[in-house]
Structure 1
Amino acid sequence: MANGGVLISQDLSCAGQVSSSVALPILGASGMRPTLLPTAILSTHTGFKDNTYLDLSGEMPKIVEHWRKNKINFDALYLGYLGKNALDFWLQNIDQLKRDEQVVLIDPAMADHGKMYRGLDEEYVAKMQKLISKATILTPNITEAAFLLDKDLTEVTLEKAQEFANELTEEFAISNVIITGISISKEKIGEVGITENKNWSLIQEKLPGSFFGTGDMFASAFLAAVMHGNNLEKSCSIAADFIRLAIMNTDQDPLFGPNYAAGLPWLLQELEK
């Protein structure tokens, strides 16, 4: 067997530091030997108007078949933004790529700020509900958690997020759920988690500004920390501090995302501890 490291499956935005554009360098620098199964190529992420979109779902089965012939396997699967056709692919093929004792991180990137992303709908949510049952770790934001549970998001609090995390664990039989980016106030942001029936929460200073790609950066740094042997609460703390450092050192247009490169030296030091 040839070890392909961590398999990342999400879109590639040609401009803007989001999705695969941040997952590849963060996981690569962390020694995870990332392999990419791209779902689509976009001219930019959807925060820009009128972006182009090339669906690659038709190529995905051919790529996976080539890997199968070459007996390439993976230490972890990391699924981010998929899109409708790629979601169908993963529903049909995830059992073929999963192995025992493998980390399967699903970041169900489909909504934020109470709304679905452009082009996604209730049918997408229903299919994502089926896919997440395959996850060993699920990392939705609070809006995505509400959609996955078919609930209205009436309040954004740590308590509500913890309630959602517990319900996701029970309803979908996922042992590890982390809800990220919970805007507690103008000054505070937090995460909650449930790991092996233990509830926990973290709170950080909320920095000004709104940046695209922070969720992708968080999931990538979090997975790197997990793969280096940290427990989920510690991994979450490392990822949150990494995002904070990146934002503090950002002087570019927020549409292009935080300056993740500024936080990489610190992240690599943390992973070596």
Structure 2
Amino acid sequence: MIANILSIAGSDPSGGAGIQADLKTFSARGTYGMAVMTALTAQNTQGVTGVHEVPSAFVSEQIAAIFDDIRVDAIKIGMISNADIAMTIADSLRHHVEVPVVLDPVMVAKGGARLLPEDAVQAVRDDLLSMAAVLTPNLPEAAALLDEDVAQDRDTMLKQGEKLRTLGAQAVLMKGGHLEGNQSPDLLVTAIGHEWFESERLETANTHGTGCTLSSAIAAEIGKGKNLSEAVKAAKAYVHNAIVASAELKVGSGHGPTHHFHNLW
């Protein structure tokens, strides 16, 4: 049976990130994608110029409409936008704790700007972390959740991943793309230990939406029945190859998207 995967996130009209990237990823990984919108953005490969937040009551209505009719095998949560939406999502999903949640805390832009006000960050900590089968922060996002400096080495990545687990997430995937060096290591921290996933750093400007794509690929693989380690390994390989193939695309003049359908076209 084909798995049904739900994304709760914001829209990216340029198609490289957000809901659009999530749906492409779900399809590319052989699953059926669904989407609940939390915000509309005006953005392209050069940046975000505007955000229109969806009223939290309508976010709740969208989630209810899905669960009233459709089996959901896994959920990916991305852009939340504000504290009210975070609490609304948490309230809506408390009735569906059997569905695994991949929480991608979209909190810090690539340039370092904070995308969430502090009360929304607190709402993520208080209301959503405990629902996450796996949390997938990059290093600035992990630091923001912990109110600490950004990790600069692997030892600090491990310490911060373990701290995030104590805040409620069942597992944490620390994405190491911000580390210096030729490698781009990710670290999975679980209740039984930790595991490193190594890959070579790729020199390319086509990295728009890689975080959205990775978390969505993990959700798809979990929904298909893989355990977390297998899901992360498959998702990381998929994103790596999507970045490698991104040169086949010509989308915009800034940070271009990855090639979500590189293994199908």
TM-score, normalised on structure 2? Answer: 0.85
User: Contact conserved, 2:103 with 2:215, CA < 8 A, in 1?
Assistant: no
In the alignment, structure 2 segments of 5+ residues that lack a partner are: none
User: Contact conserved, 1:10 with 1:82, CA < 8 A, in 2?
Assistant: yes
Give the Å deviation of 1:52.
5.2
User: Contact conserved, 1:16 with 1:256, CA < 8 A, in 2?
Assistant: no
In the alignment, structure 1 segments of 5+ residues that lack a partner are: 267-273
* Residues 1:116 and 1:46: Cα distance change in structure 2 (over 3 Å): farther
Which structure's relative contact order is higher, taking Cα pairs within 8 Å and 6+ residues apart?
A: 2
The amino acid that maps onto 1:258 is T
Measure, in 2, the Cα distance between the counterparts of 1:204 and 1:254. Answer: 24
The count of aligned residue pairs is: 257
Q: What's the secondary structure of 1:192's corresponding residue?
A: strand
The residue that corresponds to 1:240 in the other structure is 236
Q: What's the secondary structure of 1:123's corresponding residue?
A: helix
The residue that corresponds to 1:32 in the other structure is 31
Moved over 4 A (4+): none
What is the correspondence of 1:7-156 to structure 2 with a 5 Å cutoff? 7-44=6-43, 47-51=46-50, 53=52, 55-67=54-66, 70-84=68-82, 85-96=84-95, 98-100=96-98, 102-112=99-109, 115-118=112-115, 120-130=116-126, 131-153=128-150, 155-156=151-152
The amino acid that maps onto 1:99 is V
Q: What's the secondary structure of 2:144's corresponding residue?
A: helix
Give the Å deviation of 1:156.
1.8
What is the correspondence of 1:154-165 to structure 2 with a 5 Å cutoff? 155-165=151-161
Give the Å deviation of 1:72.
3.4
Question: In the alignment, which of 197, 203, 216 is matched to residue 198 of structure 2?
Answer: 203
Identity of aligned residues (%): 21
User: Contact conserved, 1:4 with 1:35, CA < 8 A, in 2?
Assistant: no
Measure, in 2, the Cα distance between the counterparts of 1:113 and 1:29. Answer: 25
Measure, in 2, the Cα distance between the counterparts of 1:126 and 1:185. Answer: 29
- Is 1:190 the counterpart of 2:190 in the alignment? no
* Residues 1:16 and 1:256: Cα distance change in structure 2 (over 3 Å): farther
Give the Å deviation of 1:258.
1.5
* Residues 1:221 and 1:49: Cα distance change in structure 2 (over 3 Å): closer
TM-score, normalised on structure 1? Answer: 0.83
Measure, in 1, the Cα distance between the counterparts of 2:143 and 2:124. Answer: 13
* Residues 1:30 and 1:209: Cα distance change in structure 2 (over 3 Å): closer
Q: CA RMSD in A?
A: 2.6
User: Contact conserved, 1:80 with 1:106, CA < 8 A, in 2?
Assistant: yes
